[in-house]
A = this chain, B = another copy of it.
Amino acid sequence: MTAPRTVAVIVGSLRKGSFSRITAKALESLAPAHLKLEIVEIGDLALYNEDVEKEGAPVAWTTFREQVRAADAVLFVTPEYNRSVPGALKNAIDVGSRPYGKSAWAGKPGAVVSVSPGAMGAFGANHHLRQSLVFLDVAAMQQPEAYVGQIATLFDESGQITNEGTKGFLTGFMASFATWIEAVIGR
């Protein structure tokens, strides 16, 4: 029996009804039972500015950092904006990485799911994010990769996945992530 693990889920789109958020919720229901996924909101984070940090970090920043730090692992679910990660997501990464020497991300196991309405599955966002994770020392799971294209066709109106192939793929993805989390935590 595996000990419970908490997973901070970062959703790259701020739209209430975003496909990233719907996907994040679906992943929660498909994950092994011992993984507790919780979305950590990023929409209220002011743009990172070191001057502001020195004057006193806003409550939203410190709360976000504590939420990330408290989690055993992190899972990113994101669309692509202009061939890269959305600014809001990159800002959350920056806020969580500071102040210098006190990054909330350091050492955690991580995984990336990128989604797109078109065919390409937000490849550009997926790999730009991975480049940041190297610096953040988030040990990102390599396989399976998750580039989920045609995202608008995969769910019903209640947010349930209707595509069986996608359901099976994402279930396997979360099972692999659970294994990966234990390997990284156990090192």
Contact = CB atoms under 8 A, between A and B. Distances in A.
A131 B85 CA distance: 11
B87 A119 contact: no
A85 B90 contact: yes
A128 B128 contact: yes
Contacts of A128: 84, 128, 131
A91 interface: yes
Interface string A120-134: 110110011011111
A142 B92 CA distance: 20
A78 to B, nearest CB: 12
A13 B97 CA distance: 15
B127 A124 contact: yes
A87 B81 contact: no
A149 interface: yes
Interface stretch (A1-9, A24-32, A48-56, A160-168): A48-56
A143 B94 CA distance: 18
Interface in A47-80: 47-52
A174 B26 CA distance: 40
A76 to B, nearest CB: 13
12 contacts: A14-B51, A15-B49, A45-B47, A47-B47, A81-B97, A82-B135, A84-B128, A87-B91, A87-B94, A87-B95, A119-B120, A123-B124
Q: Which 3 A-B pairs have the closest CB atoms?
A: A87-B91, A183-B187, A87-B90
